[in-house]
Chains A and B, each alone.
Chain A
Amino acid sequence: MKRSVFVFFVLVVVCAVFAQESVFEQPVLITSAGQSAGATMMKVLATKAKLQFTFDTLAKADLLTDNFKTIIIVVGASSKGLGAAGINIEQEVQRITELLNTAKDKGIKVIVAHIEGQSRRGKTSDQLSELAVPFAELVIITRAGNDDGFFTNLCDKEKKQLVIVDTTSAVQGILEKYFKAGD
């Protein structure tokens, strides 16, 4: 009896610590790092998860007023997307760097997501992931984008919490879970 009470107590403590680490508040800014279609997928997922968010694939640091409590950065480099936005990769790296630094200064939490699988892995996408993950409190990826363990290794190295889901649709549930605690 005593023993089970103790186990229960430990569980509660663990959960409390876990929850404390994983509270994300709204409103949310959803942006892209690399201008692939992944950000639009996140927009749809956030809508389904009923998050209060602003979607701006080209959000600049000056947009980060006190309005936002969390930024979701969706990594995925697309030359088509960059071309359509009229920017090159250097400009994109600069925008993301400024955005992340401002978020850090203002205490806005960062979630980094990679949800387009193997097709959005590659030198440029990986470079953007390496740029963003050190700022993240939570990293969400789909299993298909981690065949080589890139994100596992990166999150190990940076000591970041990593959530791996099997399908992009499952990201909706992750958003519901982590943002519910913050409501």
Chain B
Amino acid sequence: MTLPRLKLISLILVLCAAMVCIAAPLSHDVRPGYGVTDVKWLSDYHQALKGTWGDTRVYILEGEEPGANVLLLSGTHTNEIAGIFTAMIFIEKIVVKKGKLIVVPWANNSAATWGTVSYDNPESKMTQPNYITFTSQSGPRSVVVGSRRTNPLHQETDPATYTHVSGVQFPGYESRNLDRVHPGRADGNLTEQISYALFELVRKEKIDMVVDLHEAGTSSRLANMLVCNPKNLEMGAMAVLDLEFEDIQMKLEHSSEEFRGLSHREFGDHTDALSFLIETPNPSQDQNVKQPYTLDHPKFPLWKRVYTHLRTFIVLCNYLDDFVGRGIVFENIPESDAFESSAKFFMIYN
């Protein structure tokens, strides 16, 4: 066979594979508990996402009594695993008595389809995604550790410069960063459409508060920080003070005026919802790291980071009544003694 013909056959094979792959978004091992009253797709809020790698599962936990509607996002950056493990606690264990909680554990599901061995320039060394395997009450299971941005194979080639809807410009690769493209575009690239779908969800479900769970390097200014849209800074301050009594020290900051595209900025500005972003310290986001994820660590074990997310989110929810006049009430929140070791922590899950 000649070389050109071989190349042509390879190309056709790759294209076929790509077409087959388009048939379904990435699925995850999530085991909903009694609290989940409905499971939807993100594409239910924006049809164009259906059948793309950007579609993702949306878990609804609706209480018997109406109250506040809250959207909990994780996996905006799919390597920031503490948020994902927190979201899974709500899906698998927590029951909502009053109000409605909507959980999107992998907000950017395309980003979960690839791994990397380079944090600084991840696209230069793309790999298969990594998997955390652990033992829960039901035995072995696994959770994917993906990347920060949309899979480059799922979206058109990055532009030289990405222009956000506000006109602010970013390096081209940020066109695949869900936390830079908000509030998205209905007819934009895949990442912008994911964002647009999340905004549609917020509008259609009349969401009162959006909380987006993230992680940052352990020496980052952002680590252990609650970032607030300016309109809900005071509520954030109250939460931070309350958390001190639980021995959780969070810094408080408000969204920047110039830095656009971030969830805490744009959900708060473009919808009626209050908007927060929580950051915990993740050793695997430090420079020159070798491990794609960190479970056990003397200072920053996964269970501790998840506990910070969980408590910060719940304390914020406790203030909804005061700030929007509607509350949300949870049952079955895991006790603090479940957050003492990895083995104990993983037993929370179904």
Q: Which residues of A contact B (CB under 8 A)?
A: 36-38, 40-41, 43-45, 78, 80-81, 83-84, 86, 116-117, 119, 144, 167-169
- Contacts A84-B230, A119-B221; A41 near B241 (Cβ below 8 A): yes
Show the binding face of B for A, using Cβ within 8 Å: 221, 228, 230, 233-234, 236-238, 240-241, 244-245, 249, 251-259
Q: Are B245 and A37 in contact (CB under 8 A)?
A: no
**Inter-subunit contact B241/A83 (CB<8 Å):** no
Q: Are A84 and B257 in contact (CB under 8 A)?
A: yes
A-B contact pairs, 14 of them (CB 8 A): A37-B253, A41-B241, A44-B238, A45-B241, A78-B253, A80-B255, A80-B259, A83-B256, A83-B258, A84-B255, A116-B252, A117-B251, A168-B241, A169-B245
Chain A: which residue is nearest B221 at the CB level? A119
Which residues on A sit within 8 Å (CB–CB) of B230?
A: 84
Beta-carbon contact of A44 and B255 below 8 Å = no
CB proximity of A169 to chain B, nearest CB, Å: 5
Point out the residue from B237, B244, B259 that lies within 8 Å of A43, measured CB to CB: B237
Instruction: Decide: A80 and B240 in contact? CB cutoff 8 A.
Output: no
B residues within 8 A CB of A80? Answer: 253-257, 259
- The answer to whether B233 touches A40 (Cβ under 8 A) is yes
List 20 other contacts, CB 8 Å, given A80-B253, A80-B254, A117-B249: A37-B228, A37-B233, A37-B253, A38-B252, A40-B237, A40-B252, A41-B240, A44-B237, A44-B238, A45-B241, A80-B256, A83-B257, A83-B258, A84-B230, A84-B257, A116-B252, A119-B251, A144-B249, A168-B240, A169-B241
Residues of A within 8 A of B234 (CB): 40, 43-44
C-alpha spacing A73/B264, complex, angstroms:
27
Chain A residues within 8 Å of B252, by CB: 37-38, 40-41, 116
**B residues in contact with A84, CB < 8 Å:** 230, 254-257
With a CB–CB cut-off of 8 A, which chain A residues contact B259?
80
Least distance between B12 CB and chain A CB atoms (Å):
51
Q: How far, in angstroms, from A78 to B252 measured CA to CA in the complex?
A: 11
Distance A81 CA – B256 CA, assembled complex (angstroms): 7
Taken together as a complex, chains A and B put the C-alpha atoms of A16 and B228 apart, in Å, by 44
